[in-house]
Amino acid sequence: AQRVTQPEKLLSVFKGAPVELKCNYSYSGSPELFWYVQYSRQRLQLLLRHISRESIKGFTADLNKGETSFHLKKPFAQEEDSAMYYCALSKGGATNKLIFGTGTLLAVQP
Amino acid sequence: NAGVTQTPKFQVLKTGQSMTLQCAQDMNHEYMSWYRQDPGMGLRLIHYSVGAGITDQGEVPNGYNVSRSTTEDFPLRLLSAAPSQTSVYFCASIKGGTGELFFGEGSRLTVL
């Protein structure tokens, strides 16, 4: 079965420290992976997708098919990065049926 | 553009009552989805639609109905509310091409 696993419910780091939010998936086909973010009192929104290979707000994520991972990384955390982060999997590009992980709450301490 | 608009934002129901969560989008997106968000479980897909007149079940469809009479509207109906349906509900419309989901603000439902 297709599944997205985010092993950490909460990740607490200090400002300026590196951040890595883990995401592992199980899917036998060609996945599309996404990171969505929900800041306090804001809507859930797309942060980045692996296809575009872009860096958004200093975050990057590389799809590692061998390890079936799509970890989100940022070299220097900022307080405004504090939010709930969800990793999501699309089966064959069908984003109307995204499979979400359970989410990781990132808390960046001053 | 308002994007995706959900109403109501908050609702308290008694067990057995029925209600409809409204969702409207003004971006002319063909695809729309309903998710529920529960602590420790992330977002789970309830129902989705690929266009007017076409709907299908997601991961957790039991107890919910949907219809899509227009491109803009995608209401979610709770037929006979149960405490297990206490949750935050999110509607999303999906941009063609990129597949990016645009979410509503969410509707917090409590069933007593």
Residues sharing a CB contact under 8 Å with residue A49, sequence separation 6 or more, in sequence order: A32, A33, A34, A35, B98, B99, B100
**CA angle A25–A30–A31, rounded 5-degree value:** 40
The sign one gets for the Cα dihedral A85, B73, B78, A2 is negative
**CA angle B50–B72–B106, rounded 5-degree value:** 90
The mean pLDDT value of chain B amounts to 95
Residue B99 and residue A45: Cβ atoms within 8 Å?
A: no
**Residue pointed to by tokens 């297709």:** A2
A21 CB neighbour count, 10 Å cutoff: 25
> Looking at beta carbons, which residues of chain B come within 8 Å of A49?
98-100
Flag whether pLDDT at B84 surpasses 70. Answer: yes
Residues of B at the A interface, defined by Cβ within 8 angstroms:
31-33, 35, 40-45, 48-50, 58, 90, 94, 98-101, 103-106
Give the confidence band of B49 by pLDDT, cuts at 50, 70, 90: very high
Write out the two tokens for B103: 């979410």
Q: How far is A49 from chain B (nearest CA, A)?
A: 9
Residue A93, pLDDT score: 67
Give the confidence band of B8 by pLDDT, cuts at 50, 70, 90: very high
Q: How far apart are CA B26 and CA A74, in angstroms?
A: 34
| Pairs of CB atoms within 8 A across A/B | 53
Residue A30, pLDDT score: 80
Residue B55, pLDDT score: 95
Flag whether pLDDT at B97 surpasses 90. Answer: no
**C-alpha distances in Å from residue A77, one per residue of A11, A42, A45, A108:** 12, 20, 19, 7
**C-alpha distances in Å from residue A6, one per residue of A1, A52, B15, B41, B46:** 16, 22, 33, 11, 21
Flag whether pLDDT at B96 surpasses 80. Answer: yes
Residue A8, pLDDT score: 95
Q: How far apart are CA A38 and CA B34, in angstroms?
A: 17
Provide long-range contacts, Cβ within 8 A and 24+ apart, for A52-60: A57/A81, A59/A35
Of the candidates A51, A48, A44, A45, which has an alpha carbon nearest to the alpha carbon of residue A93? A51
Give the confidence band of B6 by pLDDT, cuts at 50, 70, 90: very high
Element (H, E) at B13: strand B10-13
Q: How far apart are CA B75 and CA A96, in angstroms?
A: 16
